[in-house]
Amino acid sequence: MNPAISLWQSLIKDPAFHNRPFKIETTRAGAILMSPASNWHGSAQSQAGFCLRKGRRGGEVINECSILTTEGVKVADVAWASDTFMDRNGYKTPYQEAPEICVEVVSPGNTEHEIETKVNLYLAKGAVEVWVVDGEGTVSCFSHQGKMGKSKLVKKINISKRG
């Protein structure tokens, strides 16, 4: 079995990592990364999931979607997977290909380089679009052609932050 998948499976089973208020990812070298989540982050995830559910027919909206990449297991905050994707992959953990739409909500500790890397990793693993939600709720959409003016897969994306 792939060492990255073995590590991920052991993290999922390890009670020390259950019920933690942060997202866990791994690096290519097998280091464990933990990111604390804010309430804004959770709200943005929920709003993105609502936009995906409303904007796409069928498929599944998945929060905290783990994807095996060339840089370890990365976790999209939200993803939309078509029925075809789900028929092919079910709930394998982590996925070895990315669902069609992956969403990253930028945390205060994220660097521009980290987010750009994740966008590229998800696209390389088969995502059709990657959305990046910044701290103000602005959504940037990316495809294999680069940054797009708006999503081609979801007509309306509305993520707002209460002041």
Tokens matching residue 29:
């070298």
- As a whole number, mean pLDDT of residues 44-70 equals 95
The number of helices, as runs of H, and strands, as runs of E, in the chain is 4, 8
Instruction: Write down the pLDDT at residue 138.
Output: 95
Convert the pLDDT of each residue in 60-107 to its tens digit.
999 999 999 999 999 999 999 999 999 999 999 999 999 999 999 998
Amino acid type, 102: C
Domains and CATH numbers, the chain: 37-148 (3.90.1570.10)
Q: pLDDT above 70 covers what percent of the chain? A: 95
CA distances to 39, 60, 64, 99, 150 from 120, rounded to whole Å, are 26, 22, 18, 14, 18
Distance CA 138, CA 29 (A): 33
Provide the whole-model pTM.
0.87
User: Taking 80 as the threshold, does the pLDDT of residue 160 lie above it?
Assistant: yes
Amino acid 21: pLDDT: 59
Name the percent of the chain lying above pLDDT 90.
67
